[in-house]
Structure 1
Amino acid sequence: MLRRLLPSLLIAGLFLTGCAVNPVTGKKEVMLVSEGQELAMGKESDPAVIAQFGLYPDDKLQKYINTMGDKMGKVSHRPEIDYQFRIVDSPIINAFAVPGGYVYFTRGIMAHFNDEAQFAGVLGHEIGHITARHSAKQQTTSILSQVGLMGAMIASPRLAQYGEQAMQGLQLLTLKFSRDDENQADELGVEYSTKIGYSAAEMADFFRTLEREQQQAGGEAIPDFLSSHPNSADRYTHVNRLAAEWKAKPSTPAKLAINRDQYLRLIDGITYGEDPRQGFVENNAFYHPELKFEFPVPQGWKTQNSPQQFQMADPAGKAMMLLTLAPGSSLQEAAQAVAKQLSLQVADSRQLTVHGFPALAFVGTQVQQDQQTGQQQTGMQVLSYIIQDGKSLYVMLGGSAPQDFAAYAPVFTRTMEGFQRLTSADKLNRQPEHVRIRTISTPQTLAQALTANGVPAKRHEEMAILNGMQLSDKLGRGLLFKVVGK
């Protein structure tokens, strides 16, 4: 009897202690994350987000998103929140929010908006995630699912045999909740942007830009704003219908703003695509013009660069490498700090010189104590190089499972001992591209305008997507449009 009652008692207890009224729907729902915890989560997450991406250094754009965000926050369902808005230095087309009122837009998505109304719609969507407490609800769903499954597995030993498959099913259920949340966030984006005077139909048009961008990328690099979300065509229709409904309300201003020219002039000069000043990969090598170093990248390995670190991953998924700044003021201090942070038992250590740079190399194995059993567990085996360049200390790490380490150690070593001073003028002087706003002088198609501005034919479709247009679109005299250049 106790076995059969246990899952029900667990869930009942959670319902008794975790009910809250949703600010958007006004309905009671199970919520295991308090509002205070939610606000604390945002404050704790913000420094990590900034460290990962870096802030985009444009005071004008930062002031713009703050002004628009503050205005929209006041008409939201949670106007009491101290919303914080950031433009982060990433080329990815993305916008996201974390609990507690923190909203982030990448410079990549800012470059792809073509009017203020599109920006306002997406801003409302992200604020909607916060006002409807979607992050808190998703975390609650995850907790309830795991507790319910654990209770059921206690009650039924047979179910315990299929725990992994059951967990996979619960993940699908969570995806469904995510899609429902996205639909609700779209509805709130329409509501909030309309309430501050913008045409929400433009938000629907931006979904077409996202869809075309994904198709051009061959289905890869799907932004969070699009991935695991409702079908783009359905979403376009849904948002257009909602926009028309809000436009027809008596309280809605007769004329809703789009403000295309104002927005395009605002983003004139914004960095476009990868910024090589922060490091770039070319011909199987990583170059950092600002820090003036380079090193080889193993053939075929996937890479990811951020202001915080540069990562490399074996396509087979059996090994990884990264470079980041090392803690400490000397090679020895840095080595000790890295070993402690990674819980490494160091087996071999030696000092050497790497292309003129003082260095310290060591091999270690991760050894951690299991909190439940108290027994030691062995993790990755790691090769570490601490390399000193003046006052800067870099750590290069290469890790794999112990049984694979011997096969990957030569790859790690070649990469780390390939670290050297960057001297090539071509690489040192590499500059990012920027969005440039041009004006049509005589009526012509977008394709003709791009050609006239020196855009090569192979980039025409890319520029068409950036402008939210088709190459055959007729552009009248005085119309503003985007091109990209140094």
Structure 2
Amino acid sequence: MKPFAVVGKTKIAILGALLAAASLQGCAINPATGQGNLVLMTENRELEIGKEEHEKVLASMRVMEDEALNAYVTEVGQRVAATSHRPDLEYTFTVIDSPEINAFALPGGYVYINRGLLLYLKSEDELAAVLAHEIGHITARHAIQQQARGRLANTAATVGGVVAAVATGSGYIGSELAQIGSIWAAAGVSGFGRENELEADSLGAEYLRNAGYNPRAMIDVLSVLKNQEDFNVRVAQRQPTYHGLFTTHPRNDIRLQQAVAQAGTVDDAQLRESDPSVFRQQIDGLPFGENTVRTGDRNRYYQDLLSYTMVFPDQWEIRETPTTVQASAADGSASIRVEAQRMQESKEPRLFIRENLGIEDLQRSEALSQYRLLGYTGTHTNESGHHERVAAIYLGPRVFVFRAQVTDPEKVDELDRLLLSSIRTFRAIQMNERAGSTGLQVRYVQVTTGFDWAALAARSPISQYPEETLRLLNGYYPIGTPEPGEWIKILQ
């Protein structure tokens, strides 16, 4: 028998070898920085996740239908991505029809920018800077690193409509993410922390320079976003939106200045000769605020009498009565029925399903929290022997009961995910939707001699903070006046 000390040393050596092997397996070289990172995922799996989550985004968030705008953003994004550390990825750029000032990225090459952020940018260089920052997150695999460290598990708690790190007064971002139900998208929107954000800025500035854009545009964009934060905190009493960024990422941050400076400068001969009128042409006429046009939003249903709306799966047939609506797949493989009932007593949605609907064997159950509405959902086998997803959501004095049935046993999982995604789009109709208003649009005009912000604000259709809003749109917040002949944005 070996002495105890020898046995102990042997065990320690074996344990050390196992830990070293595990470290080697989990450590991968960051393609952007050349440093080792803890990564527990192959690139192929990263690409698979990106594709899966991108499909969720497209199914759950409204995409701008302006083909020219999407083509323009894609052209700029591809130009920047081609100079990145991962140029061989198949990058996809998507403009989301959302008023929130935000952008985010998913693993594998998927970049999203909201219409609301586009409106506050002043040039193609600034657009390129936003896209370059998001590309930096992708090339450095920041989301994958967070997943390896277990941080995405914490993010999962925010999906479902809260998203506290980025929720605004309207809860708009939170409800968008609730529709997606994606911890990856939630992580992208809420940000990756100070170190990763600085790294994305540094990489983005490098990509800007390589593509012929001015790296200083990265700081210009952050000035735009910082002005928004200053206004929201001082006047509107709202929280920052873009990446929850400025709690760790101030505009005058020395490390930020150094990161951008390290990218180098671009002399006039190297700078792209982008035509400012091209950028103006793409922004001119875009909706400002909520886009309340009811057309083109997939298979969105409005129930004006009961004041709710939701999106049913594409091409499903919809039949309605004054208190119910049913949507069915053309092949009869699945259907969803929504019924409104007046609440007789106050109780949790979970208990309503158990006690009022008599369903006690729910599986895959979870609480719902979307658009400031509370609910509960789960699955069971109904009396007909079919898979059925049941949900109860409270809106005003009513409880809305969802009975979503799948009759094709070979597509249960696929169709159940589709039905749950549809249930997650349920919300109250907003006041401007009820009125059918198309809202305000951004228009460009040239400044004349004697221009005055107060005079322009007095003629503006904006009801709250008109001068501050116009200054923010044009990069003159809180002070400053444009020169005669300069193009500025107004709202009509």
TM-score w.r.t. length of structure 1: 0.64
Q: Please, which moves more after superposition, 115-124 or 254-263?
A: 254-263
Please give the alpha-carbon distance, in whole angstroms, between the structure 2 residues aligned to 1:345 and 1:8: 54
Please give the alpha-carbon distance, in whole angstroms, between the structure 1 residues aligned to 2:483 and 2:54: 44
TM-superposed CA distance for 1:243, in Å, is: 4.0
Instruction: Classify the secondary structure of the residue corresponding to 2:94.
Output: strand
Please give the alpha-carbon distance, in whole angstroms, between the structure 1 residues aligned to 2:325 and 2:239: 24
Q: What code does the residue aligned with 2:453 have?
A: L
Closer, same or farther in 2 for the Cα pair 1:410/1:202, shift >3 Å?
closer
Within the candidate set 35, 38, 42, 1:34 is matched to 42
1:21-70 Cα offsets, whole Å, 9 max, x none, are 21112223332111001111111111111122121111111111111111
Please give the alpha-carbon distance, in whole angstroms, between the structure 1 residues aligned to 2:279 and 2:205: 19
1:211 equivalent in alignment to 2:226: yes
Within the candidate set 173, 190, 202, 2:217 is matched to 202
1:295 equivalent in alignment to 2:306: yes
1:193 equivalent in alignment to 2:225: no
TM-superposed CA distance for 1:142, in Å, is: 1.3
Q: Which residue does the alignment assign to 1:268?
A: 284
Q: Which residue does the alignment assign to 2:438?
A: 431
The 8 Å contact of residues 365 and 379 in structure 1, kept in 2 or not, is answered as no
Q: Which residue does the alignment assign to 1:368?
A: 363
Q: What code does the residue aligned with 2:467 have?
A: H
Please give the alpha-carbon distance, in whole angstroms, between the structure 1 residues aligned to 2:220 and 2:46: 33
Q: Which residue does the alignment assign to 1:233?
A: 251
TM-superposed CA distance for 1:215, in Å, is: 3.4
Q: Which residue does the alignment assign to 1:301?
A: none
Closer, same or farther in 2 for the Cα pair 1:216/1:324, shift >3 Å?
farther
User: Between Structure 1 and Structure 2, how many residues are aligned?
Assistant: 380
Please give the alpha-carbon distance, in whole angstroms, between the structure 2 residues aligned to 1:7 and 1:228: 43
Closer, same or farther in 2 for the Cα pair 1:467/1:308, shift >3 Å?
farther
Within the candidate set 452, 462, 469, 2:469 is matched to 462
Instruction: Classify the secondary structure of the residue corresponding to 1:23.
Output: coil
Q: What code does the residue aligned with 2:474 have?
A: N
Closer, same or farther in 2 for the Cα pair 1:241/1:257, shift >3 Å?
farther
The 8 Å contact of residues 460 and 466 in structure 2, kept in 1 or not, is answered as no
Instruction: Classify the secondary structure of the residue corresponding to 2:76.
Output: helix
Please give the alpha-carbon distance, in whole angstroms, between the structure 2 residues aligned to 1:192 and 1:30: 24
Within the candidate set 363, 374, 397, 1:411 is matched to 397
Please give the alpha-carbon distance, in whole angstroms, between the structure 1 residues aligned to 2:131 and 2:112: 9
Q: Which residue does the alignment assign to 1:476?
A: 483
TM-score w.r.t. length of structure 2: 0.64
Please give the alpha-carbon distance, in whole angstroms, between the structure 2 residues aligned to 1:229 and 1:465: 20
TM-superposed CA distance for 1:132, in Å, is: 0.9
Closer, same or farther in 2 for the Cα pair 1:458/1:21, shift >3 Å?
closer
TM-superposed CA distance for 1:214, in Å, is: 2.6
Structure-to-structure mapping, 1:377-416, within 5 angstroms? 397-398=391-392, 411-413=397-399
Q: Alignment RMSD, CA only?
A: 4.7
The 8 Å contact of residues 93 and 111 in structure 2, kept in 1 or not, is answered as yes
Closer, same or farther in 2 for the Cα pair 1:325/1:244, shift >3 Å?
farther
* Unmatched segments (≥5 aa) in structure 2: 1-7, 155-189, 314-323, 339-348, 369-374, 379-388, 403-425
Identity %: 26
Q: Which residue does the alignment assign to 1:153?
A: none
Closer, same or farther in 2 for the Cα pair 1:34/1:228, shift >3 Å?
farther
Q: Which residue does the alignment assign to 1:446?
A: 453
The 8 Å contact of residues 97 and 127 in structure 1, kept in 2 or not, is answered as yes
Please give the alpha-carbon distance, in whole angstroms, between the structure 1 residues aligned to 2:141 and 2:258: 25
TM-superposed CA distance for 1:99, in Å, is: 0.5
1:351-381 Cα offsets, whole Å, 9 max, x none, are xxxxxxxxxxx46456338xxxxxxx99898
